Amino acid sequence: MIDVVIAGAGPNGLMLACELRLAGVTPVVLERMPERGTTQRANGLVGQVVRMLDRRGLYETLSGSADPPQPAPGFMFGALPLELGVLADNPLYTLAVPQQRIEQVLEERAVELGVEIRRGHALTGLSQDADAVTVEVDGPDGPYRLAGRYLVGADGGHSPTRKLTGIGFPGVTTDDSVSRVAHVSVPAELVDPTTGGLNVPGYGVVPPFTHHRTEHGLFVWAPFPSRPALVSTTERASVDDTAPMTLEELAASIRRVLGGDLPLAAPEGAGPHLLRRLVGGNTRIAERFRSGRVLLVGDAAHVHSAMGGAGLNLGLQDAVNLGWKLAATVRGTAPEGLLDTYESERRPVSQRVVMHTQAQSALVAPGEEVTQLRALFSELLRDEATVQRIADLLSGADIRYDVGFPSGGHWAPDLVLDTGRGPVRLAELTRDAHPLLIDLTPNGALADRFGSRVPVVTGRADFPTTAMLLRPDCYVAWSSTDPSPDTEGLDAAIGRWFGSPRLTPA
């Protein structure tokens, strides 16, 4: 019997597969598409997930840089500028990398770890009992059945896994907006070589990589380096969505949104090149993230507006949260109720993402009253405390899990430790996705206390905490500032999240 069957080989399914393998569990990934998709989708990563990928050793490959991630100097909230340089603790990290590349890197890592990925294998049915899930699969050589201890649906907003399990997907569907996006080339003389701004004839200069709102809609100009520039519009309108999308249609939309004419041509070089129209949108959260031995991650569990780029941050963090808990459950080492904390921790996070994406959508709507609301928000965003709060919200840095101890529940800081063999970043110690006890006590008092279930790293750091217990998802389960930490509290935290600790005899 297979440990875990994962439906869907997108970023979330592949990330989960990697996490499970690092934890000693063997998944099989089923993907209905025969090859990795070529359609351009997300253009990058925003939020805590950038640092999470660094802590799994994937950031350097994705970024092409050996340097650790750095916070972004600025961002947008509802198409309003968010000046992050004023923050002493800027939590918002970004990484401009197309989703195709993210999937490629995650697939290569999964295969390296020994994950079997079956492309061209579509989930068509499922049943479960107290011991297993049996899935029906339509493969290239015909239908077959596959039994697994658990099934995880990472198969998108139209998730067959969710539908076959009978989990409701309540929310709101809108059909009054049209988004158009395409890779294009524009006359070189319209692009400022220094700032990258686009001078739209009849309108003026539009800054790069911002949502530019007018009374008639949204316009985005994204001149990505080493790949074709991206142009998009969003407006309230009706459209015949059965007709093929064209550059002429996009140019007409730009004329309505900006009131100017932008010459567009197809991009040079090999594709695939994006030319897409999306009508309406969905905001929905699954009624449950788990039904018996079936669980949901990513878009299968929640869909929302793309405003703020929160989708992959939310979905990939779902996978990291679920991976170690599901692996411990499969191995039989999980404390009681551990797997249930996946939904209790991640569902509120999805609700907050829905909240702020809907708020941002409201801020970019047409109308004079929205213009005045934006004027008020512009004043509020000059306040440092407000900027900090929104940056924390967008990045996910405001997440606090109920870990049972007031000193825990937050994301582990980016420590640099002196372990006696030179400086080591915390990100270098979390690559194997195991729990970790950081012992910064004066004499390494905790180093010999615990067995192999919780590895211990001793050292020194310029940090007030003297001991810190990390879950595999890099959230703090317990910490202390006492030079002689309360080991009873530590024992309880280890038991709560990893099972009873194996104590070394005195």
Tell me the C-alpha distance between 431 and 377, whole Å: 40
* Inside any domain, residue 389: no
* Inside any domain, residue 443: yes
Where are the strands (E) in 185-252, listed by range? 198-200, 204-206, 211-214, 217-222, 229-235
Q: Are residues 25 and 143 in the same domain?
A: yes
Q: Is the pTM of this model over 0.95?
A: no
Query: Of 225, 250, 281, which one is at a domain's C-terminal end?
Result: 281
Predicted confidence at residue 447, as pLDDT, reads 66
Q: Are residues 316 and 256 in the same domain?
A: no
Residue range 37-63: average pLDDT?
Answer: 88
Predicted confidence at residue 505, as pLDDT, reads 40
- State which residues form the domain around 334: 2-43+98-169+286-364
Predicted confidence at residue 308, as pLDDT, reads 83
* Inside any domain, residue 256: yes
pLDDT tens digits, one per residue of 247-296: 999 999 999 999 999 999 999 887 788 899 988 888 999 999 999 999 99
Q: Are residues 229 and 352 in the same domain?
A: no
Q: Are residues 207 and 118 in the same domain?
A: no
Q: Are residues 161 and 303 in the same domain?
A: yes
CATH number at residue 261: 3.30.70.2450
More confident residue, 92 or 463: 92
Q: Are residues 427 and 290 in the same domain?
A: no
Cα distances from 451 to residues 39, 426, 444, in angstroms, run 48, 21, 15
* Inside any domain, residue 55: no
Predicted confidence at residue 445, as pLDDT, reads 74
Distance of CA 272 to the CA centre of its chain: 24
Count of Cβ atoms closer than 10 Å to residue 272 Cβ = 11
Query: Of 225, 258, 281, which one is at a domain's C-terminal end?
Result: 281
Residue range 22-32: average pLDDT?
Answer: 97
pLDDT tens digits, one per residue of 306-360: 888 888 899 999 999 999 999 999 999 999 999 999 999 999 999 999 999 999 9
- How many domains does the chain fold into? 3
Predicted confidence at residue 114, as pLDDT, reads 97
* Inside any domain, residue 15: yes
pLDDT tens digits, one per residue of 491-505: 899 999 998 755 444
pLDDT tens digits, one per residue of 190-228: 999 999 999 999 999 999 988 899 999 999 999 988 789
* Inside any domain, residue 254: yes
**449 has pLDDT over 80:** no
Tell me the C-alpha distance between 387 and 87, whole Å: 8
Q: Are residues 207 and 347 in the same domain?
A: no
**39 has pLDDT over 80:** no
Mean pLDDT of the chain, nearest integer:
92
Q: Residue 506's pLDDT band (boundaries 50, 70, 90)?
A: very low
CATH number at residue 304: 3.50.50.60
Q: Are residues 210 and 270 in the same domain?
A: yes
Share of the chain above pLDDT 70, in %: 97
Predicted confidence at residue 135, as pLDDT, reads 98
Written as six digits, the tokens of 166 are: 């009978």
Residue range 396-415: average pLDDT?
Answer: 93
* Inside any domain, residue 158: yes
Tell me the C-alpha distance between 246 and 180, whole Å: 10
**366 has pLDDT over 90:** no
Q: Are residues 158 and 193 in the same domain?
A: no
Where do runs of H (alpha helix) occur along 332-464?
A: 341-363, 368-380, 384-395, 426-429
* Inside any domain, residue 48: no
CATH number at residue 423: 3.40.30.120
Task: Tell me 34's DSSP state.
Answer: S
Q: Are residues 147 and 258 in the same domain?
A: no
Written as six digits, the tokens of 207 are: 């800054």
Query: Of 281, 314, 338, which one is at a domain's C-terminal end?
Result: 281
**452 has pLDDT over 70:** no
Q: Are residues 200 and 265 in the same domain?
A: yes
Q: Are residues 222 and 275 in the same domain?
A: yes
The 3-class SS string of 75-87 reads EEECCEEEEHHHC
